[in-house]
Structure 1
Amino acid sequence: MPEIIEGVVIKGDGIGPEIMNVTTEILSIFPDIAFSWEEKYAGLEYFEKYNELVPLETLEAIRAKRVALKGPFTTYSGKGPRSANWVIRRELDLYVCMRPIVSHSKGINILLIRENTEDLYGAIEWEIHDVAHALKIASVKGCRRIAAYAFKKAQNSQRKKVTIAHKANNLKITEGMFLDIAQSVGAAFKNIHIEDQLIDSLTTDLIIQPGNYDVILTTNTFGDILSSLGAGLLGGQALVPSASINDDIVLVEGAHGSAPDLKGENIANPTGLILASAILLEELGANSEAQMLRSAVEHVYANNIMTADCGGQASTTEFAEEIKKELRTLIQYA
């Protein structure tokens, strides 16, 4: 009998239901793991119907099951409610955001780890006399726990280097605290090389020589920007997976938006969410299944079967069917 894992599914906005449906179908192929999904709701579309961005029962379900697969949310710029992502991460204290930026064909294998609840993400803003202010937050606790997570993950993943990305030359207190604490935590990991780099020079180097980077540890805002830069190196925003984590919960998603203009067209790229499911499998200890899923995705791309955003002609469902075929073959010969 397969191991049954209970989890929460939040389909989200825009293309969310389409990419979620094919991803859960792909996960159902594994013979030794069976997911029992409970659907819950959140996001802008839900808010516009019920005037509630993230229902309490959604948060409670994630706390109880500790496993969640989430679609993208739509968020207006400069108006409207806060992002549902902001609510979920803050309410559940999902302090780790982990985003692998990987392309073996391009020699890129970066693990980006950013703090997920502090920095400008606290969204503490006000306006006085025509001047807008935003508060940047850094706490000893917040800096220490994300640094500890990053170095432990690097050690457990047999990675050799952690680069601390910062702007401590200018923001000497907040970014200075982050840098000092990260270096202090990292000093206990004797087998890991530590370097630090200013965020502006790092972005240039990352484009020119991405193969020089292994683990990048940074604050929230810088990490968000580096994630999108990394997606560009791979070939598109839809190719990067994301995991929001604390000591009890793992919530995974694609690191991209809801693309409302593509809703219902069956052309959205589900790669980010599929690869995020591999992170989920790995976090649950299903390492062989995680590797098979990643290999299946690599094989499909190697066969030049891609959705339109990557230059191909496959629909969402056609792409997913190819993943299923590859996965069944890998399972058969495992």
Structure 2
Amino acid sequence: MMYKVTLIPGDGIGPEITDVVVDVFEHLKAPISWEVVEAGEKEIEKNGTPLPEKVIESIKKNKVALKGPITTPIGKGFRSVNVTLREELGLYANLRPVKSLPGINTRFENVDLVVVRENTEGLYKGIEYKIDEVATAIRVITKKASEKIGFFAFKYAKENNRKKVTAVHKANIQKLTDGLFLDCIREISKNFPEIEYEEKIVDNMSMQLVMNPEKYDVLVAPNLYGDILSDLAAGLIGGLGFAPGANIGENIAVFEAVHGSAPDIAKKGIANPIAILRSSIMLLDYLKLNELSRKLENAISEAVKDKEALTPDLKGKGNTETIKQKIIDHLS
């Protein structure tokens, strides 16, 4: 069976790193055909928006997309493309696996946890107003969204042989909003007695992650906390250059590298493609192409051991082409 997948190259280094995925999938003989659609800064000049309707239509049709980083212009009145995609497509769950790679030197060697972030509400609703010298933001937490993300986290844990779910909150201060979130997660946890459940206040959770990351498995959190913790956790494994991500809805999923578009190194041939490749592993798993995903995962794990092939941001002496070729060699 051939799967059609929407490919959004994005801005900056986006086209370079998504090209790597296309080449690697060809050598992997993955049954994927790509439908390329453009979004980002170039589309503002052409169509007056960074997110043309054709992008939404393509993803709705194909149900699966791989997205390069997209720049949101600052101070020009455009909403974040990422936030808009999540709302338009109902991508309520942001999934961020954080797993150490062999040969990458960090303080920790065996990090293997997953951040599950509610993706559609909280402060990211962007409801703000200002009266005189007072600016106010409204934080929205609903029972429906909290139950959905809670069920997603426990279901993910069960299906992936995870042992524990930790709910992250600030209910000691945000008693109504985070209180509602916690109530929902607690109720969901009762349906999964085989999975250990605990709760951590977000500031304590931040400290625990940088001291004892091995104690944690699946973290489930409201939007803002999940955003912060997933970047913090990425630092445990070497940074955002290794961090994959997925935005998942009822029947649509968009996979992406979570780092920025890095325009300062665009077209220099030194962009690090590891994060987008690890995101493509998640894409393969989502399509139940598990044998191919494990093959690619193993190839990446072997390739990054060669310091000569790594890109400069990883303190290597190579470039985008050398790390791509090293991965392809291991696939062979």
In structure 1, runs of 5+ residues without a counterpart are 329-334
* Equivalent residues of 2:90, 2:250 under 8 A apart: no
* SS of structure 1 residue aligned to 2:245: strand
Distance 1:104 1:258, change over 3 A: closer
Deviations for 1:22-62, whole angstroms, at most 9, x for unmatched residues? 1111112223x321111112123322442112111110110
* Equivalent residues of 2:99, 2:112 under 8 A apart: yes
Deviations for 1:155-202, whole angstroms, at most 9, x for unmatched residues? 000100001111111001111111110111011101100000000011
Residue correspondence of structure 1 range 155-304 to structure 2 within 5 A? 155-304=158-307
Q: For 2:127 and 2:265, how far apart are their aligned partners in 1?
A: 33
* Equivalent residues of 1:161, 1:194 under 8 A apart: yes
* Equivalent residues of 1:241, 1:276 under 8 A apart: yes
Q: For 2:116 and 2:329, how far apart are their aligned partners in 1?
A: 32
* SS of structure 1 residue aligned to 2:121: coil
Residue correspondence of structure 1 range 125-140 to structure 2 within 5 A? 125-140=128-143
Q: TM-score, normalised by structure 2?
A: 0.95
* SS of structure 2 residue aligned to 1:170: coil
**What one-letter code is carried by the residue in structure 2 that aligns with 1:324?**
I
Q: For 1:311 and 1:19, how far apart are their aligned partners in 2?
A: 18
Q: For 1:47 and 1:127, how far apart are their aligned partners in 2?
A: 28
Alignment length (residue pairs):
325
Match for 1:97 among 85, 88, 94?
A: 94
**What one-letter code is carried by the residue in structure 1 that aligns with 2:324?**
A
Q: For 1:246 and 1:6, how far apart are their aligned partners in 2?
A: 18
Q: For 1:208 and 1:178, how far apart are their aligned partners in 2?
A: 26
Report what 1:332 is aligned to: none
* Equivalent residues of 1:236, 1:310 under 8 A apart: no
Residues 1:65 and 2:69 are matched in the alignment: no
Report what 2:14 is aligned to: 16
Q: TM-score, normalised by structure 1?
A: 0.94
Residue correspondence of structure 1 range 51-90 to structure 2 within 5 A? 51-77=48-74, 80-90=77-87
* Equivalent residues of 2:59, 2:65 under 8 A apart: yes
Distance 1:192 1:237, change over 3 A: same
Report what 2:26 is aligned to: 28
Aligned Cα root-mean-square deviation (Å):
1.3
**What one-letter code is carried by the residue in structure 2 that aligns with 1:323?**
I
* SS of structure 2 residue aligned to 1:235: coil
Report what 1:153 is aligned to: 156
**What one-letter code is carried by the residue in structure 2 that aligns with 1:318?**
T
Q: CA deviation at 1:149?
A: 0.6
Q: CA deviation at 1:79?
A: 5.2
Q: For 2:77 and 2:330, how far apart are their aligned partners in 1?
A: 43
Identity of aligned residues (%): 38
Deviates more, 1:49-58 or 1:7-16: 49-58
* Equivalent residues of 1:168, 1:175 under 8 A apart: yes
Q: CA deviation at 1:77?
A: 4.6
**What one-letter code is carried by the residue in structure 2 that aligns with 1:41?**
E
Deviates more, 1:310-319 or 1:189-198: 310-319
Runs of 4 or more consecutive aligned structure 1 residues displaced over 6 Å after TM superposition: none
Q: CA deviation at 1:78?
A: 5.5
Q: For 2:316 and 2:148, how far apart are their aligned partners in 1?
A: 42
**What one-letter code is carried by the residue in structure 2 that aligns with 1:5?**
Y
Q: For 2:180 and 2:76, how far apart are their aligned partners in 1?
A: 32
Distance 1:177 1:238, change over 3 A: same
Q: CA deviation at 1:4?
A: 0.9
Report what 2:325 is aligned to: 321
**What one-letter code is carried by the residue in structure 1 that aligns with 2:12?**
G
Q: CA deviation at 1:327?
A: 1.5
* Equivalent residues of 2:165, 2:196 under 8 A apart: yes
Q: For 2:98 and 2:75, how far apart are their aligned partners in 1?
A: 29
Distance 1:78 1:221, change over 3 A: farther
Residues 1:37 and 2:41 are matched in the alignment: no
Distance 1:239 1:11, change over 3 A: same
Q: For 2:299 and 2:77, how far apart are their aligned partners in 1?
A: 40
Q: For 2:323 and 2:123, how far apart are their aligned partners in 1?
A: 37
Q: For 2:120 and 2:222, how far apart are their aligned partners in 1?
A: 9
Q: For 2:41 and 2:233, how far apart are their aligned partners in 1?
A: 27
* Equivalent residues of 1:44, 1:84 under 8 A apart: no
